[in-house]
Structure 1
Amino acid sequence: MGGCDGNGNLHEEKFSAPMPWIGMYVAAASFACLIAMAADVVLGFRYHKLWFPSKFFSINATTLTLLGVAIKLSVDLNTPMPNNHDQLAKLSSSVFICTAMSNSMPSLGAMENEEMFMNVIALGILVITLIVNICIQIATGAIFVFWNEHVAIMFIMFVLLTMLIFSAIAVPTTKNYLEKKYNNRHQLALKEGANQIMKAEKLREALTKHWVMAHTCSPQFVMGRSVICTASGAFCLLSTMFLAEVMLRTLVMTSSFKFCSGESDYKLTTTLILFTQAVAVGVGTIAPAFRWFMAINFKCPKRGSISVKKEFEIEKYWIQGLLELKKQPLTLRIKSRHYRKLAYEARNMLVDICIAMQKGIVLVSKAIRFISILFVSRIYLCCDIFKEWKIKKFECNTGPQSEQNQRPDFSSYVLFLEGEKALVEFMMRTNCNATEYWLQKGRKEEPENLLKLLQKSTFSQSFKGLAEFDSDQVPSLDSEEPPNCWALPVVTLTSIALALSSNNTCSIEMLVDGLNQGLVYINAIEDHLDHKSDFTYTRKAANIVWLQVDLYHTWLDVDLKNLSLLGKSPREVLKELAETSKSRFEESKRKRRDKFGCVMDVSPSKWSVKELASNSMHRICQTLLLNQTCDDRLFEALVVMISDIVGACLTNSQRVIAMKCFNSKIEEREATVRHAVHTLGKTERILEIVNKGIPPDLDPQQMGCIDEWRLSHKRKMIPSTFCFSSDSECDGSPLLVKVISPQHKCGV
């Protein structure tokens, strides 16, 4: 059985039979890492982030597992690897881990402190295990060529691991420091802009300021431009050069290396692994190398002007965390005072060693950057001279004041650490137009169906449909009424429109498509403005009901499409929906009875989905029956009401966009501001429409509540009914809602 025959002889060849499949598994893991690193490179170039944030290839459980599989050949202690591609595959696995560490270093900034330290410890265990295994293989002869290169790569691997660990130590300090600077800087903006409606131009300027602040204090960008991270790019590039040099020598000078005869148990999969990892190393080196060059770029804005003393000053934030740790008392409970003292002194001695190592790593990194600047700054100096010559040559065509000089100065909003003053000039030269890119991108993605829907609103009359979809004259189904949210009345009105749409197929499709786009913004607005969570259940009911209406054209299992095809008059349809909703409400209420037959008292804001939806349907249907006298134009009246409610809700968009900049974690802030700019680009034309309908007596706090809007209308309007007519009294417009007194009726 297995690898043993009947005579007790062991068949060793059967144990190596699965090895090619294991090799395929290693190649697949390496390919997955390659795809993740390539995705980060593509995103970096696409969004002009040449410091390449680690979005897909970051230090986490998934990546560490893939790396553990990908370096299988380097930790394989006893499998024969006789050929050149076998030995090269072992070396490529070692270089691959160097590339992975350097590539993913910025991701440390995007993690919470505990998560970051756990991931760094896991990576450290993996790297130390790899180094020990390579040493064993060199000693046993499993690695019999390229041992000089292996030693060099192990040294680079250890240096990169040390850099990564000590970079992680400084991350909490830099986050806290930049968070304080951000909060101090935007306090004025919070007071001026968070609770008022800003004009679009002012909002764009505010978003640009917040983007500059959010971008420059983004933890990944802070890590990516740090001296240690950029120096790691130089070491990563060096390890890649080692691999490239060995592969070229092996191809060109085959006779110079003495390889063994025979075949590896992995067979041809070692060639596949070597190819995949070599490509991964090449792609993975792009990001670290660019970070290195970008650091040189912004560190020498005045070409050739370099202060040696300032270059080698060690900023306080590198060791601030360790100094604070040294001051903290021990948490160990040791009874003996003598042993407590020994433990305290031992802890402090260890911290002192870490501080010395941190200073050493920072100094080495600064030395690498300084040497790089000495060489590369000469190239930049030539580029500057060429640019100045080009500007002088063509200055007659640019006019007395260039566009760059006319651009607002946001330099005071650039947040930087100690020793990073050059970042201000660098940001002003390169990245201040990022908000314009996202605005333009948003403008190309305008919700066209929503725009068409909003054009039917009565914004010139402050969205008066808000006051007319629900009447106080309709008796309540219960003793109390739940609070109104924005989404549920819109969903209910659309359900009624579907039930009346037998001859309006195109119109109902446009209505549903427009509302699908509008509900995205309505939900976002309610997420930000519902601070007390009063509308949680109501909003949940709206979302559940809309899912069924949108996909199946049903409302609480009532087939709306079938109802529209029965040939009933609009008044009959409304009566049927009102009765059905009342019965559903009573049915749901009965389920709330306890074992003694008493109905359990539940706050109206926490009613079930069926009760909230039924109550909304009953009230709206009864209101329409009470006011509606022109059955043939009811569908158009419903469209106007829906448009009015959506439009009134969207007047809060600018306030919500501003709030997004103020309320977000430091790790999420840049993406939040970018999303806010993108949203502003998509809704600029919408805001132009809806802002015309804002009542002067409503402040921004009241505008977020639909009941406040309705109260504002009730103070102004007398009881009215809808009249849609083609005569001169109704202006002949099929989409115009005309308010008339109850005594003036259109013909039935």
Structure 2
Amino acid sequence: MGRLGCTTDGNLNVSKFSEPMPWIGIYVAAASAACSIAMAADALHGFRNRKFWYPCKFFSLNATTLTLIAVAIKLSVDLNTSMPRPQDQLAKLSSGVFICTVMGNSMPSIGTMENKEMLMNIVALGILVITAIVNVCIQLGTGVIYVFWKEHAFVMFLMLVLLAILSSSALTVPTTKRYFDLKYSKKHKLAVKECSDKTEKCPAKKLREDLTKYWMMAHTCSPQFVIGRSATCTASGAFCLLSAVTLAEAILRTNFMPWSFNFCSGDSDYKWSTHLVLITQTIAVVVGTIAPAFRWFTAINFRCPKKANKACKPQFKVESYWIQMLVEWKEYPLGLQIYRRHGRKLVHNTKNQLLDLCIRMQAGIVLVSKLVRVISIFFVSRFLICGRWCREVKWLLRCNNSVSSKVSVSDSQPNPKLDLSRYVLHLEGEEELVDLMMENNCDATAHWIRMGKKKEPKSLIQLLEKSASSQEFKGVNEFDSDQVPSLDSEEPPNCWALPLVTLTSIAVALPNTDHRLIKQLASGVHEGLMFIRLVENNLNSKKDSMNIRKAAAIVWLGVDLHHKWLDVDLRKMALHGKSPKEILEGLADDAKNRYCNSSELLFEKVCGMISDILGACLTNLQRAISMECHQSTIEEREESVCHAVVLLGKTEKILKILDQQSLSSSGSDHQMACINEWRMLSKQKETPILCFLFRR
């Protein structure tokens, strides 16, 4: 009978009901740890990339995180499990603080959501928060939670405030996105016009200046940065910090002032797992508070700088974009089919009264957020001024110790910087922040370029240096016969990648060739194909060329990983000791080559053609990198520009190498991006070296 759930006397057997509880505690700790890792990844990502408003990349409001949060707060919503020990009661409190941390941490993520997705996520979070508050209130009434009632009351208040702030910020997202889309399109046209002007600057330097302009526009209108510098986000950071301080106060009092509490004796059904939950959630609160605290501090630093006194003045004004969405809802008629005029009038008036109440509540939240920001500035500005004064004194002492007489006037002057104030996109009420956002972010491109330079394609650079002495990349014309398909030909189009893959296959198959040279060549081609893919995706997106590019990628995968070209083992061909001519004839029946008597000469010739094809294709690299800035939505725009700047850092040496090549026969930008049209424009009519390639 006991195995069926009843005792021998017929009563319900409850002896085993609590056995799984420690495992449930482990489950709760695992969910908390998962959230902690994601929030830590966001903090690390923001720090590494100098994004001190800490955008949400790994931890944002979505179905997955909401499910993890629901699991992580299981202890705070458990109504009837006894929690007598100090760590049990602290674990109840840590779950509530964890909710506050999650809301404060994930606030910028709402800027990247579509309207429907944002509504669903906030409603789901609201249900979760209200459920937690109601359950905690029930436990305070029943005595399950019998200490820290002041801390619980304060944390529940912060949970409601943070939920209201999150909802208030969400109401501005559609309005600010529309506004910035229109403003960005106008500024973008201006930037494109200025960037297209011909100058005598080297391509790398000009491209850097162009990308700096695009970066400033994309960065200042990034939805996450717009929310991150708002008054509501500043206030959420302050409240999130208060919740973490509340948990710290409770933990310190418990450990260092135990006489101030009367804890019960006994053991919880969760047993030792509550220790694990408390430790995990405390770590999650500490890690999750980093981003909100830095957003709060950065916003205060923006609003109270040394140079902009106007920004320090409190501005208790509710700008139009805060209530624009509610005003629009008020103006829209309801879609209800009510035939009687009196009924329609009643519904319309009721709707207007509710929206008027929402508008007043929204204005109140904004004003309270601005008041929190002013109070924060009042206290924190003293430390900022002191820190600036210490830095200035240190700089003056360093200047006095240096031999100033030997420093010329030109050396002492700062390097001139671009005036990017025209490209700073801002909202109403942020006029005083234009110079600050420009000064704090104008050097960001230099940081991305340095990151790109750490990942320079060294093998590709060495390979391209072989084409530096070539005349207009003549290898582009030599890799195939002179029968180049015309534009209206039914022949399938060619692409830059396919001849590179085939030529590399030939080089790998050649016997008596130094293995290190083959490895270096393959590495250079592998690096070059990544940039060729960038060029072809951005500048030659014709559907009829997609299949040939996919085929080239598949063929290269076999060559790179398995030394196979269309299931032909290239290394076996090299080991069989065949002559170069036999290998070429094996790859194609119509091979004709005047260098078929020497593997070394042929290898050098093939490498030269590979280098010329790479160089010819990468002359389009400057435009391809610029195109990265023009093909993205407002949510992805900043990341696209960052990627473009990193690409510039990777390819700066390549652009300098290619800048040494003078092209006497150049066509339009579209023609230079296509290998067939490049060859058609060329006037060279030399006999091809390897006419067996791509003959159809």
TM-score normalised according to structure 1 size: 0.85
Give 1:52's aligned amino acid: Y
Equivalences for residues 345-360 of structure 1 within 5 A: 345-360=349-364
Question: Take 1:328 and 1:381, find their aligned partners in 2: how far apart are those partners?
Answer: 49
Q: Is the deviation greater in 188-197 or in 151-160?
A: 188-197
1:482 maps to 492
Question: Take 1:386 and 1:130, find their aligned partners in 2: how far apart are those partners?
Answer: 47
How has the CA–CA distance of structure 1 residues 634 and 370 changed in structure 2, closer, same or farther, with 3 Å as cutoff? same
Q: Is the deviation greater in 537-546 or in 30-39?
A: 30-39
Matched, 1:257 2:261: yes
Give 1:168's aligned amino acid: A
- Are 2:579 and 2:597, in contact at CA under 8 Å, matched by a contact in 1? no
1:12 shift after superposition: 1.2
Matched, 1:551 2:544: no
Give 2:606's aligned amino acid: L
Q: Secondary structure at the match of 1:380?
A: helix
Question: Take 1:171 and 1:706, find their aligned partners in 2: how far apart are those partners?
Answer: 45
1:671 shift after superposition: 1.4
Query: What is the alpha-carbon root mean square deviation over aligned residues?
Result: 2.5
Equivalences for residues 201-220 of structure 1 within 5 A: 201-220=205-224
Give the alignment partner of residue 466 of structure 1, picking from 450, 468, 476. Answer: 476
How has the CA–CA distance of structure 1 residues 314 and 308 changed in structure 2, closer, same or farther, with 3 Å as cutoff? farther
1:697 shift after superposition: 3.3
Give 1:61's aligned amino acid: A
- Are 2:478 and 2:686, in contact at CA under 8 Å, matched by a contact in 1? no
1:400 shift after superposition: 4.8
1:24 maps to 26
1:731 maps to none
- Are 2:482 and 2:685, in contact at CA under 8 Å, matched by a contact in 1? no
Q: Secondary structure at the match of 2:660?
A: helix
- Are 1:450 and 1:517, in contact at CA under 8 Å, matched by a contact in 2? yes
How has the CA–CA distance of structure 1 residues 275 and 52 changed in structure 2, closer, same or farther, with 3 Å as cutoff? same
Give the alignment partner of residue 541 of structure 1, picking from 525, 538, 551. Answer: 551
Report Cα offsets for 1:604-629 as digits up to 9, x if no partner. Answer: xxxxxxxxxxxxxxxxxx3x516666
1:449 shift after superposition: 0.9
How has the CA–CA distance of structure 1 residues 578 and 11 changed in structure 2, closer, same or farther, with 3 Å as cutoff? same
Give 1:311's aligned amino acid: Q
Question: Take 1:343 and 1:435, find their aligned partners in 2: how far apart are those partners?
Answer: 54
How has the CA–CA distance of structure 1 residues 196 and 79 changed in structure 2, closer, same or farther, with 3 Å as cutoff? farther
Equivalences for residues 405-484 of structure 1 within 5 A: 406-457=416-467, 460-472=470-482, 480-484=490-494
Give 1:46's aligned amino acid: R
1:274 shift after superposition: 1.2
1:395 shift after superposition: 6.2
Question: Take 2:688 and 2:132, find their aligned partners in 1: how far apart are those partners?
Answer: 80
Report Cα offsets for 1:22-61 as digits up to 9, x if no partner. Answer: 0011111111112222222222222222221122221112
Report Cα offsets for 1:474-518 as digits up to 9, x if no partner. Answer: 999xx9421111111111121222222443422221111111111
Q: Is the deviation greater in 276-285 or in 121-130?
A: 276-285
1:685 shift after superposition: 1.1
1:675 maps to 643
Question: Take 1:660 and 1:65, find their aligned partners in 2: how far apart are those partners?
Answer: 35
Question: Take 2:440 and 2:646, find their aligned partners in 1: how far apart are those partners?
Answer: 20
Q: Secondary structure at the match of 2:628?
A: helix
Report Cα offsets for 1:98-129 as digits up to 9, x if no partner. Answer: 11101110111122222222111111111111
1:704 maps to 673
Give 2:602's aligned amino acid: L
Give the alignment partner of residue 52 of structure 1, picking from 48, 54, 57. Answer: 54
1:312 maps to 316
Give 1:288's aligned amino acid: P
1:532 maps to 542
1:128 maps to 130
Give 1:703's aligned amino acid: M
**Percent identity over the alignment?**
58
Give the alignment partner of residue 720 of structure 1, picking from 680, 687, 691. Answer: 687
Report Cα offsets for 1:619-655 as digits up to 9, x if no partner. Answer: xxx3x51666655522222111111111111111110
- Are 1:59 and 1:104, in contact at CA under 8 Å, matched by a contact in 2? yes
Q: Is the deviation greater in 340-349 or in 289-298?
A: 340-349
Give 2:23's aligned amino acid: W
Q: Is the deviation greater in 124-133 or in 320-329?
A: 320-329
1:674 shift after superposition: 1.3
- Are 1:528 and 1:656, in contact at CA under 8 Å, matched by a contact in 2? yes
Question: Take 1:718 and 1:134, find their aligned partners in 2: how far apart are those partners?
Answer: 85
Give the alignment partner of residue 10 of structure 1, picking from 9, 12, 29. Answer: 12
- Are 1:648 and 1:693, in contact at CA under 8 Å, matched by a contact in 2? no
Question: Take 1:627 and 1:376, find their aligned partners in 2: how far apart are those partners?
Answer: 78
Question: Take 2:460 and 2:48, find their aligned partners in 1: how far apart are those partners?
Answer: 29
2:652 maps to 684
1:287 shift after superposition: 1.7
- Are 1:36 and 1:56, in contact at CA under 8 Å, matched by a contact in 2? yes
Give the alignment partner of residue 651 of structure 1, picking from 596, 619, 626. Answer: 619
Report Cα offsets for 1:510-559 as digits up to 9, x if no partner. Answer: 11111111111111111111233221100010011111111111122122
- Are 2:53 and 2:291, in contact at CA under 8 Å, matched by a contact in 1? yes
Q: Secondary structure at the match of 2:271?
A: coil
1:366 shift after superposition: 0.7
- Are 1:124 and 1:161, in contact at CA under 8 Å, matched by a contact in 2? yes
How has the CA–CA distance of structure 1 residues 393 and 475 changed in structure 2, closer, same or farther, with 3 Å as cutoff? closer
1:82 maps to 84
- Are 2:463 and 2:611, in contact at CA under 8 Å, matched by a contact in 1? yes
- Are 1:498 and 1:553, in contact at CA under 8 Å, matched by a contact in 2? yes
Give 2:320's aligned amino acid: K
Q: Secondary structure at the match of 2:37?
A: helix
How has the CA–CA distance of structure 1 residues 473 and 68 changed in structure 2, closer, same or farther, with 3 Å as cutoff? closer
Question: Take 1:55 and 1:263, find their aligned partners in 2: how far apart are those partners?
Answer: 41
2:693 maps to none
How has the CA–CA distance of structure 1 residues 341 and 403 changed in structure 2, closer, same or farther, with 3 Å as cutoff? farther
1:67 maps to 69
Question: Take 1:8 and 1:183, find their aligned partners in 2: how far apart are those partners?
Answer: 77
Question: Take 2:443 and 2:484, find their aligned partners in 1: how far apart are those partners?
Answer: 55
2:694 maps to none
Q: Secondary structure at the match of 1:484?
A: coil
Q: Secondary structure at the match of 1:45?
A: helix
Matched, 1:695 2:676: no
1:708 shift after superposition: 1.6
Question: Take 2:21 and 2:672, find their aligned partners in 1: how far apart are those partners?
Answer: 68
How has the CA–CA distance of structure 1 residues 387 and 631 changed in structure 2, closer, same or farther, with 3 Å as cutoff? closer
How has the CA–CA distance of structure 1 residues 298 and 694 changed in structure 2, closer, same or farther, with 3 Å as cutoff? same
How has the CA–CA distance of structure 1 residues 260 and 554 changed in structure 2, closer, same or farther, with 3 Å as cutoff? same
Question: Take 1:105 and 1:80, find their aligned partners in 2: how far apart are those partners?
Answer: 34
- Are 1:78 and 1:142, in contact at CA under 8 Å, matched by a contact in 2? yes
Equivalences for residues 318-329 of structure 1 within 5 A: 318-329=322-333
- Are 2:305 and 2:312, in contact at CA under 8 Å, matched by a contact in 1? no
- Are 2:466 and 2:608, in contact at CA under 8 Å, matched by a contact in 1? yes
Matched, 1:377 2:381: yes
Give 1:519's aligned amino acid: L
Count residues with an aligned counterpart: 676
Q: Secondary structure at the match of 2:645?
A: helix
- Are 2:234 and 2:295, in contact at CA under 8 Å, matched by a contact in 1? yes
1:422 shift after superposition: 3.0
Matched, 1:520 2:530: yes
Report Cα offsets for 1:396-418 as digits up to 9, x if no partner. Answer: 74765655462333222221111
- Are 1:443 and 1:682, in contact at CA under 8 Å, matched by a contact in 2? yes
1:196 shift after superposition: 8.2
Report Cα offsets for 1:352-404 as digits up to 9, x if no partner. Answer: 22111110000000111112222333333444455555666666747656554
2:190 maps to 188
1:96 shift after superposition: 0.9
Question: Take 2:351 and 2:555, find their aligned partners in 1: how far apart are those partners?
Answer: 61
Question: Take 1:721 and 1:304, find their aligned partners in 2: how far apart are those partners?
Answer: 67
Question: Take 1:388 and 1:489, find their aligned partners in 2: how far apart are those partners?
Answer: 60
1:166 shift after superposition: 1.2
Give 1:367's aligned amino acid: L
How has the CA–CA distance of structure 1 residues 193 and 708 changed in structure 2, closer, same or farther, with 3 Å as cutoff? farther
Question: Take 2:551 and 2:327, find their aligned partners in 1: how far apart are those partners?
Answer: 54
